[in-house]
Chains A and B, each alone.
Chain A
Amino acid sequence: MNCVWVGTMTVQEVRVEVTPLQTEGMRDVLGDVVQRQLFADHGVDVGKVRSIRGYLIRSNYTAEQIDAHVQDIFSDPIIEYGATNTSLLEDQTFFPQPPSLTVTVGFKPGVTDNPGAAANDGFKVLFPEGESSISTYISYAFLELHDGIDHAWVASTLFNGLIEKSILTTREQLETNQAMSLTYPERPTIERQVPSIINLEVSDDELLRLSTEGLLALNLNEMQTIRDHYRDETTRGARSAVGISPDSPTDVELECLAQTWSEHCKHKIFASKIHHIDTETNEDTTIDSLFKTHIMKPTHDMAKEVDWLLSVFHDNSGVIAWNDDWSICMKAETHNSPSALDPYGGAMTGIVGVNRDILGTGLGARPIANTDVFCFGPPDWSGELPSTLFHPSRVLRGVHAGVRVGGNESGIPTINGSIVFDERYIGKPLVYCGTVGLMPRKLADGRESHEKNPTPGDLVYMVGGRVGSDGIHGATFSSLELTDESPSSAVQIGDPITQKKMMDMLLEARDACLITCTTDNGAGGLSSSIGEMAEYTNGCEIDLGKVPLKQEGLSSWEILVSESQERMTVAVSPKDRDAFEALAHLHEVEATQVATFTDTGYFHVKHGEETVAYLPITFLHDGVPQLELESEWIPPHHEAFVPPSELNQTTLLTEMLARPNIASKETWVRQYDHEVIAQTVVKPFVGVERDGPGDAGLIAPIHGDSQGLVVSCGIAPRYSDIDAGAMVAASIDEAVRNAVCVGVDIDKMAGLDNFCWPDPIESEKTPDGKFKLAQLVRANRELERVCRAYRLPCVSGKDSMKNDYGVWPNKISIPPTMLFSLFGNQPDVRKTATSNFKHHGERIYLVGMTHNELGASEVAFHLRERGDANGIGGQVPLLENPSEQLEVYRKLSNCIQSGLIRTAHDCSEGGLAVALAEMCIGGRCGAFIDIDGIGTGDAFTRLWSESLGRIVVSVEAEHELAFVEMMEGADIHLIGMVSSSSELLIEDGYDTLIQADVEELTQSWKGALDMTGAIE
C-alpha cells in the first residue's frame, strides 16, 4: 500500500478489516443494535445490518508480517474473521450480494481514537520496533435497504460531522468497482507561532472587538482593567527585567487572563454586586456577591458548630470527616455546551472530568461513586428542531453512552441520579455529573490528606495525557451562548483507560507520601491548574517547551490554555523525584516535570529560554473587576390550573406513570455499573423484581464494615415557572427526603448546589435579563433559608450561567434549574429501608401534610398537554417551616435506624398517587388506601398535589405502636394497608378514586422510556 519515507525508515500503511463470523450460533450484535435503535427512535426498519471494523496501521512492518498476527491482535479466532489489505465488503463469503448501502465512519484528524490507541498498545507487544500508530473506522452494511429510505438520513444517524467523517458506498459503486475507502486522518502540519504582542492602547470598540474575535469572553471593563495593568510603571519595570514586552500583553498573557477570569472559572455573576428590586414588596437593595452572602457565610457559620467540616469551597471538592479514619468528599459539575455539540464525547469528558476533581482534592481522594442527572428535551419530540441541534433521543443516547462508558470503564459505580424532561432543554441539555471520593484522614507520614502543602522549589509535573489542539477555549466557550459557529475544538472524547492508569498511579503515589499538592487540568488547562496551585507558594515558573504534545507546532498560548483531557498537575518534593518517576513508568503513565514552585509573586511562563508571560499572582487571581448587575422581580403571570371536573383517575394514574419525568429509567440506568467496588447497599432498583425505584444511593465503602454513606439528589425545574425560590426549596427538600428514606444521620449531611441558569445579564441579546437575575436572587435566598434550617452546609458548588440557544427573539432559554446533591453518614446499613411494599398486612402511613399545591405540578403539565386544562398556574409547593420539618425527618430516620421501618418512599412528581403506585410496583402487591383527612383540598388535590415534606412508609403490625410513639409530634396519617391482591385501590371516604391493576401500572411505568427496540 502506501509507503512514506521518514528519515531512513520506511513507514508502511496496512489496512486490517474484521467482521463477525456468520457460522452457526454467531451473531453480528453491533449490526443488530443499529437496526433496533433506528426502529425504536424513528420507527424505521432498515433490515439486516452487518458491521466491519477497520484498522489503518502505520508502522515499520509489512502486510505479510502483520497478517501472520491478525488473530493475535485484531480479530478473535473463534468469533471473527480478519484480513489485511482486503476490502471485506467485496468478500463474497460474507457479502454474497453487495449491500445496498454501506456507511463507513472514521475520526477526523486529531480526534481521540480510543480503540486505535488500545490497538496500538496491543500492536506494540508483538511489533515493538519503531514508531507505530493506528486509526480505526467502522462500516455498517445495510444488506437490503428499502427504496424509500434516504441514504443521507441513515448516515446522519450514525456519525457526528463535528468529529467524524463518513463515506457512503452504494451497491452500484461496489458492482462497478468505484467504492472509496477512508484514509488515515492526517493532521495538517502546523507551525508554532511566536508569541505576539497585543496593543491595548486602542479605542473601547477595538478592545471589545479583540475580545469577541479572540473568543476571550471578556467585557469592556475587564479589557480596560487589563490595559491599565500594563500602564503601571512598576509592572513595566518588572517586565523589562525579565525581557518581556513591558507595556503590552503577549497573546499568552491575554489568553491566560481570559481563561482565569472567565465566568466558568471565576463565577463573576455569583460574585457580582446586584441592585435588586422586588415589585411585590417594594424592596430596593444591593447584594454584594450572592455566593459570599447566601452560600459561603451560612456554611462558615455552621462550621463553627460542628467538627466534621474539614475543607469547604477552596479545593476541588468539599471534604467532611466521615469517621476517625476516613474522610469523604463530593463534587458535581456540568458539561452542557460540549454535550450539546457532541453528546457522547461531551458527557464522557463531563464524568471523567469530575472524577479528576476528586483525585485532585487534598492530596488525592479515590472516586468511589458517581451520580448523573440529565435534563433533556422530550425523547419523542416531533416538533421543529433548529438544524444545528440533535434530536432529543439522540442527545439522550449519546449522553447516556458517554457517561456509561466513562463511569463503567473507570470502575466507579453510578449509584444515584435522575433524568428530567422539558421542551426547553432541546436548546441546551443539562448534563450534571457528580463524584464522591474517599480518602484516609492521615497519610503514613502523619500529614492530613485533605490539605495541600507545597513549598517553593517543589517540582510540578503534568501527568497523564498529552496536550493537543483539542479542547482549546472550553472555559471561555462555555461562558458564551451556543450558536451555529460554536467551535468544534471545544469538543473532546474522553479516554477513561488512560485516566484509570493515572488514577491507579497517583493513589499509589499519595499513599507513598510522594505528593505535596495536586489539582486537575480542566477548564483553562495548565494556566488554571498551575496558576491556582501557585497561590499556595506565591509563584511558579513554567517551561512550556517541556510539555509533551500530541502534535508539534502548537503555539505557547495554546499549550498553556488547552484543556486536553486526562491530565493532572502534581507537585513533588525534589527528593522524591526518582520514586515518583519510577511509579509513573511502572503504570505506563506519562509524567513530565513542566514547572517549579517559587515564591516570587509571579506566574512566570517561559517557552525554552524566552519569557512569554509574566503576571503577578494577585492580579491573575484577584484582578478581575466586580460586575454590577440589575435585578427586578415581577411575578410571572400564569393562567390558573383548573382540572376538568370529570376525570377517570385510574386512567390518569396510568398516564402519569408513563410521563417521561415519572416513568422508569431502568433501560438506561441498568447500563451503568452500580455495584463495582462491592459496596452498594440500596441500589437504583429495589423490590421483588428489582425494578422498583430506589430513593437514595446507600453504600458501605469499607469492605466488611457496615457504616454507610448516603448519596441523594433533588431537582425540580418546573417550579421555576412560578418561582425559582420555590424550585430551590423543593430541590433541597427532595434530596433530604430521599436521604431520610434510607435512614441518613440527620446530624451529618452536606450538600452541593449546582446552578444552571439562562444568561441573567440584561443586554440586547437578553432583554429579560433583570427578571432572570431576580430569579437567581430568590433562588439563593431560599438556598440559605432552607440550608440553615436543615443545618445542611453547602460544601462545594458550581454554576453554569449561559444555558441558552440561538439569538433573541428566537432564543431558547432553559428553565432556571438547580440540582441539589447530598451526601451524609448512615450509621449501620443493616438497618435501612427501600421503597417497595414488603408484606401483606403492613400498615401504610403518610408522614407530612398535603396542601393544595398544584401549581406547576406534573399533573398540571400533563393535563395541559392533553388539552384538558388551560394553565399550570397556582400555588407551588412551599416549605414554610423547615426547622420543624427537620425534626420530623429526624424522628423518621431514627425509626429506620432502629429497624422499625423498612419501607419508605418519598412523594415528589405526581404526588401521593404516583408514590403509592411505585411502592406497589416494587413489591408486586396491592394496597387499600383511604386519603380522607390527609390534608386540605379536594380529592384530586390530595391525590396529585406535590406538597413537600411527605414520605410514605409501611410498618409491620407488631412495630406500629412503637412507630407511632417515636413519631409523636409529627403529622402522620394512617392511610391503609398492604394487601395480598394485585390491585391498588384508593378511596376518599366512601368514594372510590382509583382501582388499578398493579401489573398494568407496571407496564405503563416501565414501557414509556424502554426504547430498546424490543428485539433480543
Chain B
Amino acid sequence: MSQEVKVCVLFGFGINCDRETAAVFEMVGGVSERVHVNRLVQGERTLSEFDILAVPGGFSFGDHLGSGRLLGNRLRFALREQLQQFVTDGKPIIGICNGFQALVKTGLLPGPADASLEPDLIQRASLTLNNTGRYEDRWVTLEFDPHSPCIWTKNIQRIECPVRHGEGRFVMPTEQDLDNLDNNHLLTVRYVDPTTPAGEGIQDELLSFPMSPNGSMRNIAGICDATGLVFGLMPHPEAFYSMWLHPEHTSMDLGENWEGEGLQIFRNAVEYVRSQR
C-alpha cells in the first residue's frame, strides 16, 4: 500500500476554496488532488481511491434554494453509495463553509445518533441566514470541545480564523436535538468571547454580534458525526495557514515561526490516516 495520504478536494459548480484547501493538505504531508464532482459522478474516478475527502467552501450553485442544498443533492443522489462506503470505511471527511452546509443538507452531519449505524443521509439540522441578514468576512475566535470524538480537532483548544458567509446560523428543530449532540460532545467547535481565558470560552448562552457572527444556536461553529470522522465548520481554518494571513501580524514579533493556527486541523487528519495503517 502506498504511504501517500491521498486527499480528494472536490471542485466545480461554484466551489471556490478548492485551491487553498488542496494547498494546506500538501503543507502537512498529504497529496491533494482537485477532483471535479462530475468525474466521480460519471465514474471516471471513485472516492475509494482516496483516504480523505474535503468539500471546500464556495457558492455551489449560487447558494440558490439555500446554501449547499443543490450540491448536497448532487452528493446525496448521485454519489450516495460512494459516500456511504467512504464513511463506513472509516475515512475522514471535512466540509468547510459551503462544504459544511452541503454535508448538513446531505444528512452526513450530524448523521445517525450512534456511531455503529450506517449513514442514512437524512437531514437533521440546517444552516440558515445570519441574523444580521448580511454576508460578512470577519475574523472570529473559536474554541474546541476537548472531549469531542472528532479526529480533526485533537489537541486544539482555541484558534482564530475568518468566517465568510451569509448563511452560517446553525439550527436544529428542538433543544433536545442540541442536547443529544452536546451530550456526545459532537458540538465540536463554538464561537467564543476572545477575552475569556482559553479553555473557558464555551457557553450555550448566545453571544452578541460580532463575537457570534451569525446567531447560531449555542454559538455552534461546527459539529462532527458520532464516529468523529466527519467534521464540518463554517469558519475557514485553511485561510489561516500562515501568520502573514493574520489581521494583526504587523503588530506581532514572530521571528521564524510563521505557521498559522489553522494548519493543525489538517495535520490531525493526515496523521490519523497514517496511524490507522
- Shortest CB distance B238–A (Å): 6
A161 and B104 CA atoms in complex are apart in Å by 38
Q: Does B58 contact A (CB under 8 A)?
A: yes
B171 in contact with A73 (CB, 8 Å): no
A411 in contact with B247 (CB, 8 Å): no
A671 and B165 CA atoms in complex are apart in Å by 9
A645 and B135 CA atoms in complex are apart in Å by 47
B11-19, B111-119, B182-190: which lies at the interface? B11-19
Chain B residues with CB under 8 Å of A587's CB are: 12, 36, 38
> Interface size (B, Cβ < 8 Å)?
72
Select which of B12, B57, B65, B250 is within 8 A of A118 by beta carbon.
Answer: B65
Chain B residues with CB under 8 Å of A1012's CB are: 132, 134
Chain A residues with CB under 8 Å of B142's CB are: none
B64 in contact with A115 (CB, 8 Å): yes
A829 in contact with B130 (CB, 8 Å): no
Q: Does A811 contact B (CB under 8 A)?
A: no
Known: A76-B105, A678-B245, A704-B23. A409 touches B250 (CB 8 A): no
Chain B residues with CB under 8 Å of A76's CB are: 66, 69, 105, 123, 126, 128
B62 in contact with A114 (CB, 8 Å): yes
B64 in contact with A838 (CB, 8 Å): no
Q: Does B129 contact A (CB under 8 A)?
A: yes
A391 and B240 CA atoms in complex are apart in Å by 40
B65 in contact with A126 (CB, 8 Å): no
Q: Does B43 contact A (CB under 8 A)?
A: no
Chain B residues with CB under 8 Å of A676's CB are: 16-17, 57, 164, 239
A704 in contact with B27 (CB, 8 Å): yes
Q: Does A706 contact B (CB under 8 A)?
A: yes
A122 in contact with B173 (CB, 8 Å): no
Question: Digit string of A221-247 for contact with B (CB within 8 Å is 1, else 0)?
Answer: 000000000000000000000000000
Chain B residues with CB under 8 Å of A122's CB are: 61, 65, 69-70, 73
A686 and B137 CA atoms in complex are apart in Å by 13
Question: Digit string of A381-401 for contact with B (CB within 8 Å is 1, else 0)?
Answer: 000000000000000000000
Q: Does B86 contact A (CB under 8 A)?
A: no
Known: A23-B173, A411-B16. A678 touches B241 (CB 8 A): yes
A675 in contact with B239 (CB, 8 Å): yes
Chain B residues with CB under 8 Å of A934's CB are: none
Select which of A26, A409, A690 is within 8 A of B139 by beta carbon.
Answer: A690
Q: Does B162 contact A (CB under 8 A)?
A: yes
A829 in contact with B244 (CB, 8 Å): yes
B73 in contact with A27 (CB, 8 Å): no
B17 in contact with A690 (CB, 8 Å): no
B164 in contact with A500 (CB, 8 Å): no
Q: Which chain B residues numbered 1 to 58 have a C-beta less than 8 Å away from chain A?
A: 11-17, 19-20, 23-24, 27, 36, 38-39, 42, 57-58
B38 in contact with A681 (CB, 8 Å): no
Q: Does B196 contact A (CB under 8 A)?
A: no
A504: nearest chain-B partner, CB-CB: B12
A830 in contact with B138 (CB, 8 Å): no
A28-36, A324-332, A459-467, A963-971: which lies at the interface? A28-36
A78 and B139 CA atoms in complex are apart in Å by 28
A684: nearest chain-B partner, CB-CB: B137
Chain B residues with CB under 8 Å of A610's CB are: none
Question: Digit string of B229-250 for contact with A (CB within 8 Å is 1, else 0)?
Answer: 0000000101111101101111
Select which of A114, A125, A671 is within 8 A of B136 by beta carbon.
Answer: A671
Chain A residues with CB under 8 Å of B236's CB are: 675, 678
Q: Does A444 contact B (CB under 8 A)?
A: no
- Shortest CB distance B256–A (Å): 10
A676 and B18 CA atoms in complex are apart in Å by 10
A831 and B12 CA atoms in complex are apart in Å by 36
Q: Does B197 contact A (CB under 8 A)?
A: no
B128: nearest chain-A partner, CB-CB: A79
Select which of A27, A408, A410 is within 8 A of B135 by beta carbon.
Answer: A408
- Shortest CB distance A587–B (Å): 7
Q: Does B59 contact A (CB under 8 A)?
A: yes
Q: Does B217 contact A (CB under 8 A)?
A: yes
B135 in contact with A121 (CB, 8 Å): no
Known: A586-B38, A829-B244, A1016-B131. A504 touches B11 (CB 8 A): yes
B73 in contact with A1016 (CB, 8 Å): no
B59 in contact with A703 (CB, 8 Å): no
- Shortest CB distance A413–B (Å): 9
- Shortest CB distance B261–A (Å): 13
B59: nearest chain-A partner, CB-CB: A409
Chain A residues with CB under 8 Å of B208's CB are: 1016
Which residue among B14, B27, B63, B133 has the maximum number of chain A CB atoms within 10 Å of its CB?
B133
Chain B residues with CB under 8 Å of A504's CB are: 11-12, 36
B244 in contact with A681 (CB, 8 Å): yes
B250 in contact with A832 (CB, 8 Å): yes
Which residue among B65, B124, B248 has the maximum number of chain A CB atoms within 10 Å of its CB?
B65
Chain B residues with CB under 8 Å of A126's CB are: 73, 77
A671 and B138 CA atoms in complex are apart in Å by 9
Question: Digit string of A697-716 for contact with B (CB within 8 Å is 1, else 0)?
Answer: 00010011010000000000
A157 and B136 CA atoms in complex are apart in Å by 24
B131 in contact with A690 (CB, 8 Å): no
B64 in contact with A73 (CB, 8 Å): no
- Shortest CB distance A20–B (Å): 8
A342 and B240 CA atoms in complex are apart in Å by 38
Select which of B42, B133, B164 is within 8 A of A32 by beta carbon.
Answer: B133
B136 in contact with A1016 (CB, 8 Å): no
Chain B residues with CB under 8 Å of A682's CB are: 250
Chain A residues with CB under 8 Å of B239's CB are: 675-676, 678
A37: nearest chain-B partner, CB-CB: B133
- Shortest CB distance B194–A (Å): 11
Which residue among A25, A80, A115, A587 has the maximum number of chain B CB atoms within 10 Å of its CB?
A25
A835: nearest chain-B partner, CB-CB: B250
Question: Digit string of B88-120 for contact with A (CB within 8 Å is 1, else 0)?
Answer: 000000000000000001000000000000000
Q: Which chain B residues numbered 141 to 194 have a C-beta less than 8 Å away from chain A?
A: 162, 164, 171-173
A670 in contact with B129 (CB, 8 Å): no
A122 and B241 CA atoms in complex are apart in Å by 34
Q: Does A590 contact B (CB under 8 A)?
A: no
Which residue among A125, A411, A680, A902 has the maximum number of chain B CB atoms within 10 Å of its CB?
A411
B13: nearest chain-A partner, CB-CB: A501
Chain A residues with CB under 8 Å of B24's CB are: 678, 703
A676 and B129 CA atoms in complex are apart in Å by 20
A78: nearest chain-B partner, CB-CB: B126
Known: A76-B69, A677-B20. A409 touches B62 (CB 8 A): yes
B174: nearest chain-A partner, CB-CB: A24
Question: Digit string of A64-85 for contact with B (CB within 8 Å is 1, else 0)?
Answer: 0000000011101111100000
Q: Which chain B residues numbered 60 to 87 have a C-beta less than 8 Å away from chain A?
A: 61-66, 69-70, 73-74, 77-78
A30 and B134 CA atoms in complex are apart in Å by 10
- Shortest CB distance B122–A (Å): 9
A30 in contact with B64 (CB, 8 Å): no
Q: Does A496 contact B (CB under 8 A)?
A: yes
Q: Does A688 contact B (CB under 8 A)?
A: yes
B171 in contact with A497 (CB, 8 Å): no
Q: Does B275 contact A (CB under 8 A)?
A: no
Chain B residues with CB under 8 Å of A704's CB are: 23, 27, 241-242
A681 in contact with B245 (CB, 8 Å): yes
Known: A501-B14, A675-B239. A29 touches B64 (CB 8 A): no
B36 in contact with A496 (CB, 8 Å): no
B17 in contact with A29 (CB, 8 Å): no
A122 and B74 CA atoms in complex are apart in Å by 8
B73 in contact with A408 (CB, 8 Å): no
- What are 29 A-B contacts defined by CB distance under 8 Å? A27-B131, A29-B130, A29-B133, A30-B129, A36-B133, A72-B73, A73-B73, A79-B126, A80-B66, A114-B62, A122-B69, A125-B70, A411-B58, A497-B13, A586-B39, A670-B136, A670-B137, A675-B239, A676-B17, A676-B239, A677-B20, A678-B24, A678-B239, A679-B20, A680-B245, A703-B23, A834-B250, A1012-B134, A1016-B131
> Other than the known A500-B16, A688-B251, A704-B242, what 5 A-B pairs have Cβ atoms closer than 8 Å?
A29-B129, A76-B66, A76-B105, A411-B17, A690-B138
